[in-house]
Amino acid sequence: MTADLVEFLRARLTEDEQAAREAMHRPRNRPATSGRWGYVHEDLVDEDGLVLAPKVWIPAAAHTARWDPARVLTDIEAKRRILDRYVAAEEHAAGTYDEVSGGIAQGLEFAVRAHAHPHAEHPAYRPEWAPDEEDSRG
């Protein structure tokens, strides 16, 4: 189950990364940007003030600006680091089990399950991957 869950989450992160990188390409053949977005009045804009979406409902613009491509890419990298630590902890715990190693692996497994959970509607998601509240309490 561990390898399948890791593979599933890595695939979703790759999809998210591709979407974020595509969003960084500007219209009208302008060069790509750093991917930082904001909003001015009702317009969603990039860091140079290029209007990406005019007359956006302000709460939607604020939300979209907070989840600009640059932030999404940083979030993806953090989740990949958690996945890498989880895989390493699982390998270590399997080879030389002790309570500390097992506890670290268990905690990281909960984090991986939690990060996979937003993809629960994906056809490849398995219900047994859902984070178990009891796991978080130790």
Q: What angle do helix axes 2-23 and 99-116 make, rounded to 10 degrees?
A: 50
Q: What average pLDDT score do residues 100-124 get?
A: 92
**CA separation (Å) from 101 to 1, 82, 84, 109, 116?**
19, 15, 15, 12, 22
75 vs 1, more confident = 75
Residue 64: CB partners within 8 Å, gap ≥ 6? 37, 39, 44, 53, 56
User: Cβ(83)–Cβ(4) under 8 Å?
Assistant: no
Q: What is the pLDDT of residue 64?
A: 75
